[in-house]
């Protein structure tokens, strides 16, 4: 059964005659007559949508791009707020006066926020077009470096692009996001779960012997390496994995590290 969030995003793109990549969320905002208010705002603020009853209108406030806030994340934030605008239950809450600052790009555990993130990914990277794009780009399989290039082409954040790659089940992959050597969260494809190679505990330390630990160690010793890669034992990351090794790539994205784990052949 089709995901209703993905279906809603697809219908919007088709209705607006925007069924192609890359998707410009700012154009959708203009089409809907939503007011945009950019600014530097405060720390931890991504975006917020508000409803103004006297004018029956909406406004999206969003943090501008900057050194640690690339354009891709800004676009994802706008698409996230469009999720609140389009999804019926979200829209109802906003119109009732429920105003909150959104934490986008998979940074929240609130089900409402994660659903808006799913909408944003589906809007900016509709499944059918994304899979076709990957297959045309790399024949169906991507490294982390490839996903960074793909994110640039699509105008999306690297994190959301990597997660979308997992969700489309193109190969068994798990994504881990960490900061200062501590796991913040992880995301895995269904086939990676079947291999018992998906769960990485939030709040745990990056495991010794991993390429990600190597990347942090290089930074601690004054090296400016932004990327590492190589094969590691699957048991470095997972308990009772069903493969012996994983291919691991890790890259600094501002203060965070994105780790990409792909199952090797049995």
**pLDDT tens digits along 94-147:** 999 988 887 666 767 788 999 999 999 999 999 999 999 898 887 778 999 999
pLDDT digits (tens, 9 = 90+) for 199-246: 999 999 999 999 999 999 999 888 888 899 999 999 999 999 999 999
Q: How far apart are CA 211 and CA 260, in angstroms?
A: 10
Domain with CATH 1.10.10 in the chain: 4-124
Q: How far apart are CA 123 and CA 100, in angstroms?
A: 22
Report which of 83, 24, 21 is spatially closest to residue 58, judged by C-alpha positions: 83
Assign residue 202 a region (left: φ > 0; alpha: ψ between -120 and 50; beta: otherwise).
beta
Q: How far apart are CA 39 and CA 63, in angstroms?
A: 5
What confidence category does residue 34 fall into, taking pLDDT thresholds of 50, 70 and 90? very high
Helix (H, G, I), strand (E, B) or coil at 145: helix
The structure tokens 């932004």 sit at 226
What predicted TM-score, i.e. pTM, was given to this entire model?
0.91
Domain with CATH 3.30.450.130 in the chain: 171-263
Model confidence at 266: pLDDT above 80: no
Q: What percent of the chain has pLDDT over 70?
A: 98
Query: What kind of fold does domain 4-124 have according to CATH?
Result: Arc Repressor Mutant, subunit A (1.10.10)
Query: What kind of fold does domain 171-263 have according to CATH?
Result: Beta-Lactamase (3.30.450)
Predicted confidence at residue 99, as pLDDT, reads 83
Predicted confidence at residue 104, as pLDDT, reads 64
Backbone angles phi, psi at 260, to 5 degrees: -115, 120
Q: How far apart are CA 217 and CA 253, in angstroms?
A: 16
- According to DSSP, residue 257 is labeled E
């Amino acid at each position: 059964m089709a995901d209703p969030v993905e279906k809603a995003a697809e219908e919007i793109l088709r209705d607006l005659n925007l069924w192609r990549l890359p998707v410009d969320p700012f154009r959708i905002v203009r089409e809907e007559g939503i007011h945009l208010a950019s600014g530097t705002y405060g720390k931890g603020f991504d975006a917020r949508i508000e409803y103004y009853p006297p004018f029956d209108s909406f406004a999206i406030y969003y943090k501008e791009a900057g050194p640690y806030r690339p354009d891709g994340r800004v676009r994802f934030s706008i698409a996230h707020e469009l999720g609140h605008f389009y999804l019926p239950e979200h829209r109802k809450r906003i119109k009732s006066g429920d105003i909150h600052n959104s934490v986008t790009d998979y940074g929240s555990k609130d089900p409402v926020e994660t659903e808006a993130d799913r909408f944003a990914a589906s809007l900016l990277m509709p499944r059918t077009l994304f899979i076709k794009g990957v297959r045309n780009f790399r024949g169906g399989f991507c490294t982390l470096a490839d996903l960074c290039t793909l994110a640039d082409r699509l105008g999306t954040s690297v994190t959301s692009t990597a997660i979308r790659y997992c969700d489309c089940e193109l190969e068994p992959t798990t994504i881990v996001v960490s900061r200062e050597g501590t796991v913040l969260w992880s995301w895995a494809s269904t086939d990676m779960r079947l291999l018992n190679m998906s769960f990485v505990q939030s709040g745990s330390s990056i495991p010794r012997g991993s390429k990600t630990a190597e990347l942090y160690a290089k930074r601690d010793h004054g090296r400016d390496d932004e990327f590492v890669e190589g094969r590691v034992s699957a048991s470095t990351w997972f308990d009772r994995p069903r493969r012996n090794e994983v291919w691991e790539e890790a890259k600094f994205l501002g203060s965070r590290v994105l780790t990409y784990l792909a199952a090797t052949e049995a």
